[in-house]
Amino acid sequence: MVIYKETLTDLIDFIYLNLIKNSENVSYIVVRTILTFKNIDIETILDLIINRFSDEAYIYINADSIDLIENNHSE
């Protein structure tokens, strides 16, 4: 695919046409992808996309594993 405009914003607009309107439609999001070679590019693209939304952004922290013995939490 060739996009004749030269900005990253134009690429995002092309791939995610009507993003705000369709943002809650899972099938709309699933079938669209921008691939990059470097993680720094991914962060730049995500920042541009997230900044289009007027709502407050939330960060959800995850963990690959936890130590249940140390914290005495079994739940």
> What pLDDT sits at residue 68?
67
Closest CA relative to residue 14, chosen from 27, 23, 3, 30: 3
Q: State the DSSP code for 52.
A: T
What global pTM score does this model have? 0.63
Asked if residue 72 is part of any domain, the answer here is no
In a domain, 71, yes or no: no
Tens digit of pLDDT per residue, the chain (75 long)? 666 767 888 889 989 999 999 988 999 988 998 888 888 888 899 999 988 887 777 788 887 776 666 655 555
The range of the structural domain enclosing residue 11 comes to 1-56
Q: Report yes or no on 40 lying in a domain.
A: yes
| Count of domains observed in the chain | 1
- In this prediction, residue 39 carries a pLDDT of 85
Distance spanning both ends of the chain, measured CA to CA? 48
Is the torsion defined by CA of 8, 14, 16, 21 positive or negative?
positive
Please report the pLDDT score of residue 23 as a whole number: 87
User: Does residue 19 fall inside a structural domain?
Assistant: yes
The pLDDT value given to residue 6: 77
Cα separation, 27 vs 30, in Å, equals 5
